[in-house]
Amino acid sequence: RVSRIVPTSGILMIAFYVIRGLCSDESKIAAWTRVWRCQWKVLIDGKSYGPFSSRADAISFEKDEIYKQGKFFADATHEAAV
């Protein structure tokens, strides 16, 4: 995985990792975590970018950034959805 998009709040980030670790990406609860109304950050190669006011904004930035770094592959769209 090239990158991750996670909540900026420590408590929400822990909850996000626990939920996403226990549930499949296709589950309803995983889908629910994608629509949390909070600030998000993008993690790429150990660097943190953000905060972003919406997950959609974070995904847009993520795609642009990994494309600039030459890491945007055909399955990167799927990675961004996680």
Question: What is the pTM assigned to this prediction?
Answer: 0.80
pLDDT digits (tens, 9 = 90+) for 36-61: 999 999 999 999 999 999 999 999 99
Residue 76: is its pLDDT beyond 50?
Answer: no
């994608």: which residue's tokens?
Answer: 34
* Residue 77 to residue 82: CA distance in whole angstroms: 9
Token match 């943190």: residue? Answer: 48
What is the structure's pLDDT at 1? 72
Residue recorded with tokens 């909850």 = 15
| pLDDT value of residue 8 | 98
pLDDT, tens digit (0-9, with 9 covering 90-100), for 1-29: 789 999 999 999 999 999 999 999 999 99
**Looking at residue 81, what is its pLDDT?**
52
CA distance 40 to 4: 10
Q: Residue 76 sits in which domain range?
A: 3-81
